[in-house]
């Protein structure tokens, strides 16, 4: 068991391999949600690149055959509706058989609509009621300090989720205790359930200033640029005495046209039908072929390229 | 407050004090225990723990939602956690966090809410938890404890750590009549019979246990002999004791410092109706909020005195089938 654990810990992967993994997991997200007839594919796809970077670049320490290993790094999916992304990642990491992905949202399946930590190994928190995961992550981070362990805690939150006051309660408390083993990633995909963030809660901006004012170490990245994702996740580990916020600018639906066509909310909570699925999968394949043929990593995009001015 | 004085009960420390002292003692034995509070530790008495173990105490500020979710994370990483605030704010403000982070995942978090009931007095309804038992018992997997006095509150505090999983302990603000000796045992889920009688049973919790004992004394003088059960564990309810009381005494009155909806009375009624139905009456707060005032005046105005229990018992007994 120790040998296997060391192998999983030591694994290092090239940017290109990580991109290929992200494409594969994106396919799985699309396929499992279409099969289930619901789920939140667009909210999952916006997060899949940064989650791939986290789990498979060697940044996170874990051992999937020993999910309760005390010194494992923790990942909390606070925006629990992106559960399909979490399930794809956990299956890839070896927590369970990828064949189970097709049981998403079925009765008796542990792959519930939102993560249930008692149902599935690798799920660190039961989420789906927004705003709570960062506080839960803070609890884990404080436990590490109390127990003298060196593990890190990563929490993925959403931009719409940031409407919740508890996010800012957690922001204050984490800064108070200077928990430098806590990293939050904000999946800033610009849309929430009924409209754009700009329409629903425009005063989330300027979000970077807010987190800095709360005492966090803040950086912004293009959340679909694998190199930027990996670099940011590596860099935050060197920050002392401050929790860290990575604002990942993303696209809800990862830019795939069936989602882009919905200008209201990027098909929030809707699975693609079979025809849309075929289109989306073809676009993913095309992106992969273009990037591989050009022998370039995915084009480097700045946050401005994704969003315009940020 | 003069509940119990007519039968010579002495007033002891508030149940919150007994909790705080017991918690500090538990902290001495258990270095895995972490205590967190929402900036009211001098009121909830978690400061007794803080003063001894500052490294294991976190004041998370006036932010109960965050506090409860932090407790959930601490527990998920293996810590024994007590999270405390005023009961009204702990159960009210953080209900969804309790649901998602404690009840649903069954984390080992012990919630302790002080300033329960209307006997807190002058601070008024915003500070009075009168719905907390209903909120806590509605949550699957929760154990809910309402100790009657300081000795049993201390024992209940230790009992919190006799099992793993979610629990809520309710404490009170005022000095409370003492019905148990120091060092009393506390068995979760097992009612304590404090007095026996054949005509009816009073099932009470918290401060109302002393009121029940006083009521039983008054009733005895007029020839009505009642059993008194301290139902300190509202959930899981000691249904066997309830059924036995119904079968052997034929009438049941409940008494609690809580609204009638979803409290002790409702839980007992469910058990009675499904085992051995007998006439019942319910002493508690009726579909309303109280107000600021002297505790004794409020208990009088809102019907939580021994006299109210006496009346309820007479009504229930009168309704019994002639034997």
In chain A the first and final C-alpha atoms are separated, in Å, by 47
- Find which of A74, A77, A132 to mutate to test the B interface (most B CBs within 10 Å of its CB): A132
Structural domain boundaries, residue A280: 2-307
* Residue B124 neighbours by CB under 8 Å, 6+ apart: B290, B291, B292
Angle at B20 between CA B15 and CA B21, to 5 degrees: 100
* Percent of chain A at pLDDT exceeding 90: 89
Contact residues, chain B to chain A, C-beta under 8 Å: 34, 55-56, 58, 60-61, 63, 65-79, 96-97, 99-101, 104-106
Domain of A200, CATH number, reads 3.40.50.970
Q: Give the count of domains, chain A.
A: 1
Q: Could you read off the pLDDT of A197-250 as tens digits, one per residue?
A: 999 999 999 999 999 999 999 999 999 999 999 999 999 999 999 999 999 999
How many Cβ atoms sit within 10 Å of the Cβ of residue A276? Answer: 20
Residues of B in contact with A125 (CB under 8 A): 72-73, 76, 101, 105
Task: Answer yes or no: do A126 and B100 touch at CB < 8 A.
Answer: yes
Mind listing the domains of chain B with CATH numbers? 9-177 (3.40.50.970), 192-318 (3.40.50.920)
What kind and span of H or E run contains A200?
helix A197-200
Closest by Cα among A249, A247, A239 to A210: A247
Residue B177 pairs in a beta bridge with B11
pTM (predicted TM-score): 0.95
Tokens (6 digits) for B34? 């972490």
Find the CB nearest A173 among B61, B75, B96: B61
Phi, psi of A83 (to 5 degrees): -50, -40
pLDDT, tens digit only, all 323 positions of chain B: 999 999 999 999 999 999 999 999 999 999 999 999 999 999 999 999 999 999 999 999 999 999 999 999 999 999 999 999 999 999 999 999 999 999 999 999 999 999 999 999 999 999 999 999 999 999 999 999 999 999 999 999 999 999 999 999 999 999 999 999 999 999 999 999 999 999 999 999 999 999 999 999 999 999 999 999 999 999 999 999 999 999 999 999 999 999 999 999 999 999 999 999 999 999 999 999 999 999 999 999 999 999 999 999 999 999 997 75
Contact A53, A227 (CB under 8 A): no
């Amino acid at each position: 068991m120790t040998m296997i654990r060391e192998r999983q810990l030591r694994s290092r992967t090239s940017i290109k391999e990580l991109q290929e993994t992200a494409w594969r997991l994106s396919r799985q997200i699309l396929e499992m949600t279409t099969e289930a007839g619901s789920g939140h594919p667009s909210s999952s796809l916006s997060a899949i690149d940064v989650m791939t970077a986290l789990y498979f670049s060697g940044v996170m320490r874990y051992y999937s055959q020993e999910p309760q290993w005390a010194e494992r790094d923790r990942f909390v999916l606070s925006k629990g509706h992106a559960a399909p992304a979490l399930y794809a990642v956990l299956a890839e990491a070896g927590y369970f058989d990828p064949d189970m992905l097709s049981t998403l949202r079925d009765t008796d399946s542990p792959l519930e609509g939102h993560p249930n930590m008692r149902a599935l190994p690798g799920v660190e928190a039961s989420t789906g009621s927004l705003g709570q995961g960062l506080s839960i992550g803070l609890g884990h981070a404080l436990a590490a300090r109390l127990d003298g362990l060196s593990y890190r805690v990563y929490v993925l939150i959403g931009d719409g989720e940031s409407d919740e006051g508890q996010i800012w309660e957690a922001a204050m408390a984490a800064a108070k205790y200077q928990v430098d083993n806590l990293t939050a990633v904000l999946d800033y995909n610009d849309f929430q359930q009924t409209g754009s963030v700009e329409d629903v809660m425009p005063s989330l901006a300027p979000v970077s200033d807010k987190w800095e004012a709360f005492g966090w170490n803040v950086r912004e990245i293009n959340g679909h640029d694998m190199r930027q994702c990996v670099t940011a996740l590596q860099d935050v580990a060197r920050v002392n005495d401050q929790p860290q916020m990575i604002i990942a600018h993303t696209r809800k639906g990862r830019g795939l046209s069936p989602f882009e066509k919905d200008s209201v909310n990027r098909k929030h909570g809707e699975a693609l039908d079979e025809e849309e699925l075929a289109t989306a999968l073809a676009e993913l394949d095309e992106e992969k072929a273009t990037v591989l043929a050009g022998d370039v990593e995915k084009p480097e995009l700045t946050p401005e390229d994704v969003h315009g001015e940020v | 407050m003069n509940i119990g004085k007519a039968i010579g009960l002495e007033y002891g420390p508030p149940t919150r004090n007994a909790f705080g002292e017991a918690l500090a003692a538990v902290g001495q034995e258990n270095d895995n225990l972490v205590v967190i509070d929402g900036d009211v530790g001098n009121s909830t008495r978690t400061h007794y723990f803080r003063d001894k173990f500052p490294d294991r105490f976190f004041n998370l500020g006036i932010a109960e939602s965050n506090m409860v979710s932090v407790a959930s994370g601490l527990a998920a990483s293996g810590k024994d956690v007590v999270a405390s605030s005023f009961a009204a704010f702990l159960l009210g403000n953080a209900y969804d966090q309790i649901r998602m982070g404690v009840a649903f995942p069954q984390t080992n978090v012990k919630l302790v809410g002080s300033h329960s009931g209307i006997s807190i007095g002058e601070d008024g309804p915003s500070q009075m938890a009168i719905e907390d038992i209903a909120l806590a018992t509605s949550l699957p997997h929760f154990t809910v404890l309402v100790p009657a006095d300081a000795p049993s509150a201390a024992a209940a505090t230790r009992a919190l750590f006799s099992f793993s999983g979610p629990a809520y302990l309710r404490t009170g603000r005022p000095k409370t009549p003492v019905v148990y000796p120091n060092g009393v045992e506390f068995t979760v889920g097992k009612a304590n019979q404090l007095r026996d009688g054949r005509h009816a049973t009073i099932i009470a919790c918290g401060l109302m246990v002393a009121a029940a004992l006083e009521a039983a004394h008054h009733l005895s003088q007029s020839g009505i002999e009642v059993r008194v059960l301290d139902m300190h564990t509202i959930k899981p309810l000691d249904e066997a004791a309830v059924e036995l009381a119904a079968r052997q005494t034929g009438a049941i009155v409940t008494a609690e410092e809580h609204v009638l909806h979803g409290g002790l009375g409702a839980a007992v009624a469910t058990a009675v109706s499904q085992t051995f139905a007998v006439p019942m009456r319910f002493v508690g707060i009726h579909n309303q909020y109280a107000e600021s005032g002297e505790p004794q005046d409020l208990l009088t105005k809102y019907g939580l005195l021994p006299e109210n229990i006496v009346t309820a018992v007479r009504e229930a007994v009168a309704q019994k089938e002639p034997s």
